[in-house]
Amino acid sequence: MKIGVLTGGGDCPGLNPAIRAVVLRAHALGHTTLGFRDGWKGLRDDLTMPLAPADVRGLIGRGGTILGSSRTHPFQRPEDAEKVLTTWSKHRLDGLVAIGGDDTLSAARELARRGRPVVGVPKTMDNDVDGTDWTFGFFSASAVSLDALERLRDTGASHHRAMVLEVMGRHAGWVALATGLGGAADATLLPEEKYDESRLFDQVRRAVRERGFALVVASEGIDLGERRGRAGAADEFGHELLREREVGAELAQRIQAGTGIETRSAQIGHIQRGGAPVLFDRLLATRLGARAIDLAHAGRWGQVAVLRGGEVTGLPFDDALGRPKQVNADWLDLLHTFDG
């Protein structure tokens, strides 16, 4: 078979190892692969690149994606959908591996519904794809925000300040949860929970009283009620760019005004999307990329390679793509055991 490969949506560590796994497994099974650049844009506009085993050498530890990515929606306009199908036919593809988060995989599902053989590989630093236990990118991105929090601890402790770290994660608080739990933050604010200002001020006051400084982790997706600044612009899938709301800076102002404790904030933003994937993400990306090819090889099109209970397996698109997965009650309970 000749199998197309694309990566769509926000980049994250693990995409390159996943591409590598797809290509090497496909070739090991006697297939060939062709890369499409910049997500669905590549299939729409016929932007290809060679993707043979020699092209994926050295990728296991490289951040980003050699294929490029975009948030192009291929089915927003009928003429775009037409172009996608034309490119497919021109290259005589026998199948496609789409590597991406909810948006990219929803578009892959739409292509599958239009009769094309497609399999999916879930990725996202947000860890919010429903059908898989974990997505690659999440542990690498959270390791970066944990490192940032520990740096803020040093400067916060030196100045006896409250330090607020705003992390990415859209409408799921997994990155904030991991950063707050892993870094023993005094307060961790997630989109899954209602903002409680008096509780936050109590947590900050107590931390400063007991250890001389306070650490607060806030997910970019929290709702602070009355909004500061402008709303973020939206991407092609209609998602607001949440970092433009600057909730971390807003929180710092509120904490300082409400408690009298000097407070500073930092927004980690895209810094946490770059860099080498951690070991777990390398292994997960490798397993899922290889499994996607196994699914294709077995004719199990219309499925997504996922991690369930430690095993990699295939799930139909509809089962893999429920509502975006948010932090559940068990995790919240664990989190609040430590931040009171």
Q: Contacting ligand F6P (CB under 6 A), which of 126, 166, 186, 250?
A: 126
Q: Measure the CA dihedral 74/77/78/79, to 10°.
A: -80
Interface with ligand F6P in residues 5-64 (CB under 6 A): 10
Minimum gap (Å) between residue 267 Cβ and ligand F6P: 12
Active site residue 126: yes
**Which tokens sit at 131?**
């059908």
- Comparing CB distances to ligand F6P, the nearer of 10 and 183 is 10
- Comparing CB distances to ligand F6P, the nearer of 206 and 239 is 239
Q: Which residue has the tokens 């799921």?
A: 172
- Comparing CB distances to ligand F6P, the nearer of 93 and 168 is 168
Total residues belonging to the chain: 340
Cα distances from 295 to residues 112, 131, 289, 303, 331, in angstroms, run 14, 16, 10, 7, 32
Which residues contact residue 77 at a Cβ distance below 8 angstroms, ignoring those fewer than 6 apart? Answer: none
- Comparing CB distances to ligand F6P, the nearer of 126 and 339 is 126
Is 19 strand, coil or helix?
helix
- Comparing CB distances to ligand F6P, the nearer of 126 and 186 is 126
Residue 142 binds ligand F6P, judged by CB under 6 A: no
Q: Contacting ligand F6P (CB under 6 A), which of 23, 143, 217, 242?
A: 242
Q: Which stretch binds ligand F6P (CB under 6 A): 62-70, 120-128, 254-262, 313-321?
A: 120-128
- Comparing CB distances to ligand F6P, the nearer of 124 and 142 is 124
Of 11, 38, 103, 126, which residue is the catalytic one?
126
Residue 105 binds ligand F6P, judged by CB under 6 A: no
Give start and end residues of each alpha helix (H) in the chain. Answer: 15-28, 40-45, 78-90, 102-113, 138-159, 174-182, 197-211, 247-259, 279-297, 317-320, 329-339
Cβ pair 17, 59 in contact under 8 A: yes
Residue 170 binds ligand F6P, judged by CB under 6 A: yes
Kindly state the number of chain residues that form the binding site for ligand F6P, as judged by CB under 6 A: 14
- Comparing CB distances to ligand F6P, the nearer of 164 and 168 is 168
Residue 130 binds ligand F6P, judged by CB under 6 A: no
Minimum gap (Å) between residue 270 Cβ and ligand F6P: 6
Residue 124 binds ligand F6P, judged by CB under 6 A: yes
Minimum gap (Å) between residue 240 Cβ and ligand F6P: 8
Give dist(CA 31, CA 93) in Å, integer.
11
Give dist(CA 298, CA 178) in Å, integer.
37
Q: Contacting ligand F6P (CB under 6 A), which of 235, 236, 262, 294?
A: 235
Q: Contacting ligand F6P (CB under 6 A), which of 6, 168, 204, 304?
A: 168
Note the Cα 97 to chain centre separation in Å. 18
Give dist(CA 52, CA 57) in Å, integer.
9
Give dist(CA 198, CA 3) in Å, integer.
55
Residue 241 binds ligand F6P, judged by CB under 6 A: yes
Residue 267 binds ligand F6P, judged by CB under 6 A: no
Cβ pair 298, 311 in contact under 8 A: no
Q: Contacting ligand F6P (CB under 6 A), which of 4, 117, 122, 169?
A: 169
Give dist(CA 78, CA 109) in Å, integer.
16
Interface residues with ligand F6P (CB under 6 A) are 10, 71, 101, 124-126, 168-170, 220, 235, 241-242, 273
The set of catalytic residues is 126
